[in-house]
Amino acid sequence: MPLNDLFQLCRERVTAEEAARYYGYVPDRRGKVLCPFHPDRHPSLSFHRGNFRCWSCGAAGSAIDFSARLFGLAPLDAVRKLNEDLGLDLPVDRAAGPEERERARREAELRETRKIFEEWRQTMLTRLCAAIRTGNVALRRPMEDWDPKECLAVREQARLEWYAATLEAGDREEQMEIFRRRKEVGRLCTRISGDTGDPAGTDGRNGPRRRSGAA
Ligand SMILES: [Zn+2]
C-alpha cells in the first residue's frame, strides 16, 4: 500500500482526540487538554474533525502528527505505534490482502461521497440564505411593491427556513431527504434568486428589486 494511502487510512481509523485520550490527555469540560508541546498551565489544545490544535503554541495536525510529536517519531513510525497501541489493523509492514484492498477501496468511495454531499450542503445553504434574505427584505416594504420573485420568497419562507435549518444542524436522515429532493429545492432557489446561471433567472439578478414605481 502506498504510504499516502496508509497515512490516510490511519487518519480515518483514529482521530487525534482518540489518540490523545489513549496517551492520557483526557479533554476537560470545554473539550481541551494541557498541550504537551509547550509549557501549558491552562488547557489550550482542542480537537475538531479528527484533528488537534493548540491555540497557544500553534501545534496542529492529525493523530499521526500528535503521536509523532509526542514520542519524537517519524510519521511512519508514529503510524506503526498507533497501529500497535490502538489495534487499528492497518496493513503496515505487510502487503495488503485482497479483502483489505477492497475495504480500502470502499472507504475511499465513501470518503468521496461524503465530500460531494458536504460540498452540495454548503452551496445549498448559501443559496437558501440568499432566498430567505430576499423574502426578509421584501417584508420590510408594502406588499404591493413586491415582484413575483419576492412574492414567491415570502410565500415559501417557512419551507426555505426549514430546509436551511435542517441542512445547518438537522440529523443526517433529514438532510438526505432534502438531498434526494435537491433538484426541486434548487429550482425553488433559482426561481427566487436566479443564482445558477439559469437563463430564466438572469432577470434583475444584481439590479434593483423594484421593477417599476418611483423614478
Ligand atoms: Zn501548545
Taking residue 80's Cβ as centre, other Cβ atoms within 10 Å add up to 17
Total domains in the fold of the chain: 2
CA of 60 to the centre of ligand 1 (A): 9
What's the burial of 162, exposed, middle or buried (CB within 10 Å: 0-12/13-18/19+)?
A: middle
Please give the grid coordinates belonging to residue 107: 472507504
Asked whether residue 19 is domain-assigned, the answer is: yes
**How is 133-200 classified by DSSP, letter by letter?**
HHHHHHHTS-GGG--HHHHHHHHTHHHHHHHHHHHHHS-HHHHHHHHHTHHHHHHHHHHHH--S--GG
Number of neighbours of residue 31 by Cβ within 10 angstroms: 12
Q: Confirm if 82 and 64 have CB atoms less than 8 A apart.
A: yes
Please check whether residue 80 lies inside any domain of the structure.
Answer: yes
CATH number, domain with residue 59: 3.90.580.10
**Half-sphere CA count of 118, side-chain side, radius 13 A:** 6
The cell numbers describing 50, all together, are: 479528527
The predicted pLDDT at position 214 comes to: 42
Residue 213 belongs to some domain of the structure: no
Residue 139 belongs to domain spanning? 98-196
CA 16 / ligand 1 centre spacing (Å): 14
Tell me the residues surrounding ligand 1 (ion) with CB < 5 Å.
35, 37-38, 54, 56-57, 59
State how far the Cα of 7 lies from the Cα of 53, in Å rounded to an integer: 19
79: left (phi over 0), alpha (psi -120 to 50) or beta: alpha
Please indicate, yes or no, whether residues 24 and 77 belong to a single structural domain of this protein.
Answer: yes
Residue 7 Cα to ligand 1 middle (Å): 23
Same domain, 18 and 48: yes
Does the global pTM surpass 0.85?
Answer: no
Query: Is residue 121 one of the residues assigned to a domain?
Result: yes
Q: How far is the CA of 74 from the centre of ligand 1 (A)?
A: 20
CA 84 to ligand 1 center in whole angstroms: 26
Ligand 1 center from residue 12 Cα (angstroms):
24
- Cα of 125 vs centre of ligand 1, distance in Å, is 35
List per-residue pLDDT tens for the chain, 215 residues long. Answer: 788 889 999 999 999 999 999 999 999 999 999 999 999 999 999 999 999 999 999 999 999 999 999 999 999 999 999 999 999 999 887 777 788 788 888 888 888 888 899 999 999 999 999 999 999 999 999 999 999 999 999 999 999 999 999 999 988 899 999 999 999 999 999 999 986 644 333 344 444 444 444 43
Q: Say how many Å lie between the CA of residue 6 and the centre of ligand 1.
A: 27
